[in-house]
């Protein structure tokens, strides 16, 4: 599907190849916001209902895209779609008015309007995302940018859902604190019960504090497109810092924390993110470990990865829970009676995966849980003797 004319009132989607040329020209002047919409179920429908049905659906979606783009875009912006593809793309190449380039809110607004039209006409779920193209290489450049935009969109949704969930969680303790305080103020309460009410209100206030801590921890991680990329850190230094952070907790429970770094480990990861990952794992090891027990943290080189292990002597994690505990707000079997909001491991997973690594949990030789994060090593240190 292609048309050379792509100005206001006559906008017809270009082919993705033609779009590349437009982007190349526009990016020489200013960064180009690229908006992407995808129908992820399209392939399944083609497989299930046959090519004809899929083609009809795609035609409907393409017409809806074209009409919605015509309404939402400025003269000079371009839209593109290849026949048979599940991807619809917009490059906001119009020259900025009053020196004001389209911002995040503009991109989201356009995306939402077009996604709503697309979803209404096709009856399918629409994935969306956007990215700002600053440099563009025609060969494979567009496919890469489309992936980056969709990845960013998925992260934005993840963040939105996270805050919505936290907002919901905060309402419960707040309601209960208000209830207890109002009952006390009204004086309609057996005086013997007042300390119990106050203790409950305090417990709920502490829980709110923990939820807020988790929320800020999460929001401090920059979720922009190239967030944790590009930086490196000496893992040994971050282990030292993390041990300092958790020392009061460990001392409080008489737990000895032993740290070990087998070789010079340089991970391709932002130092703050590495510290956050270590602190979360160590806090848990101390929280779930035995009073007076031991926690070990060690880093070593394993091929192209830095391997970080945190071991404890607590109850461990049952095989059936080993995947689910990394979910947001998921608390496991041994969490009762221990403070927490089920956020720490979700953050650990997010940090490890965003760096291109992974996290898993197994049994520790100390008898409890062993959390093992593999993080890519800094590029030039891979291949050197370690």
Residues at the contact surface with ligand ADP, assessed by CB under 6 A: 284-285, 288, 312, 314-315, 317, 325, 330-332, 334-335, 340-346, 368-369
Q: Which residues of 135-170 are buried (b: 16+ CB within 10 A; e: fewer)?
A: ebeeeebbeebbebbbebbebbeeeeebeeebeebe
Task: CB nearer to ligand ADP: give 23 or 341.
Answer: 341
8 A C-beta contact, residue 113 and residue 72: yes
Smallest distance, ligand ADP to C-beta of residue 364, A: 9
8 A C-beta contact, residue 331 and residue 243: no
Smallest distance, ligand ADP to C-beta of residue 199, A: 21
HEC sequence for 26-56: HHCCCCEEEEEEECCCHHHHHHHHCHHHHHH
8 A C-beta contact, residue 277 and residue 246: no
Task: CB nearer to ligand ADP: give 137 or 161.
Answer: 161
Smallest distance, ligand ADP to C-beta of residue 179, A: 25
8 A C-beta contact, residue 10 and residue 101: no
Task: CB nearer to ligand ADP: give 264 or 331.
Answer: 331
Residue 348 tokens read as 């650990």
Task: CB nearer to ligand ADP: give 42 or 326.
Answer: 326
Helix (H) or strand (E) holding 25: helix 16-27
Smallest distance, ligand ADP to C-beta of residue 363, A: 11
Smallest distance, ligand ADP to C-beta of residue 151, A: 23
Among residues 13, 15, 97, 85, the alpha carbon closest in space to that of 55 is found at: 85
Among residues 108, 233, 229, 208, the alpha carbon closest in space to that of 160 is found at: 108
Task: CB nearer to ligand ADP: give 36 or 346.
Answer: 346
Smallest distance, ligand ADP to C-beta of residue 333, A: 6
Smallest distance, ligand ADP to C-beta of residue 173, A: 15
Task: CB nearer to ligand ADP: give 307 or 345.
Answer: 345
8 A C-beta contact, residue 58 and residue 84: yes
Angle between helices 51-72 and 42-49 (to 10 degrees): 150
Smallest distance, ligand ADP to C-beta of residue 257, A: 13
Task: CB nearer to ligand ADP: give 269 or 282.
Answer: 282
8 A C-beta contact, residue 290 and residue 275: no
3-state SS assignment for residue 360: strand
Task: CB nearer to ligand ADP: give 87 or 369.
Answer: 369
């Amino acid at each position: 599907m292609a048309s050379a004319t792509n100005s206001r009132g006559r906008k017809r989607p270009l082919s993705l190849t033609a779009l590349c040329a437009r982007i190349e020209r526009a990016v020489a002047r200013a960064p180009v916001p690229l908006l992407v919409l995808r129908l992820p179920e399209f392939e399944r429908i083609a497989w299930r209902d046959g090519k004809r049905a899929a083609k009809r659906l795609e035609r409907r979606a393409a017409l809806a895209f074209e009409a919605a783009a015509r309404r939402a875009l400025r003269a000079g912006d371009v839209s593109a779609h290849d026949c048979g593809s599940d991807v619809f793309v917009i490059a906001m190449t119009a020259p900025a008015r009053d020196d004001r380039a389209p911002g995040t809110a503009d991109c989201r607004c356009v995306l939402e309007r077009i996604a709503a039209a697309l979803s209404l006409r096709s009856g399918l779920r629409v994935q969306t995302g956007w990215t700002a193209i600053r440099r563009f290489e025609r060969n494979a450049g567009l496919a890469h940018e489309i992936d980056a935009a969709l990845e960013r969109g998925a992260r934005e949704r993840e963040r939105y859902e996270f805050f919505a969930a936290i907002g919901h969680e905060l309402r419960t303790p707040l309601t209960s604190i208000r209830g207890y305080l109002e009952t006390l103020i009204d004086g309609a309460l057996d005086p013997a019960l007042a300390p119990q009410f106050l203790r409950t209100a305090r417990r709920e206030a502490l829980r709110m504090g923990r939820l807020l801590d988790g929320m800020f921890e999460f929001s401090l991680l920059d979720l922009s497109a190239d967030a944790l990329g590009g930086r490196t850190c000496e893992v040994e230094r971050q282990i030292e810092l993390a041990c300092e952070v958790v020392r009061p907790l460990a001392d409080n429970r008489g737990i000895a924390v032993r740290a070990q770094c087998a070789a010079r480990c340089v991970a391709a990861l932002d130092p703050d993110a590495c510290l956050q990952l270590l602190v979360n794992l160590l806090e848990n090891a101390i929280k779930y470990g035995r009073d007076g027990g031991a926690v070990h943290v060690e880093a070593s080189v394993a091929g192209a990865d830095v391997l970080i292990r945190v071991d404890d002597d607590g109850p461990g994690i049952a095989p059936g829970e080993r995947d689910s505990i990394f979910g947001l707000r998921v608390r496991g079997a041994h969490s009762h009676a221990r403070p927490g909001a089920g956020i720490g491991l979700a953050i650990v997973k997010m940090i490890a995966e965003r760096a291109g690594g992974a996290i898993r949990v197994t049994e520790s030789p100390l008898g409890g849980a062993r959390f093992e994060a593999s993080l890519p090593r800094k590029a030039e240190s891979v291949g050197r003797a370690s």
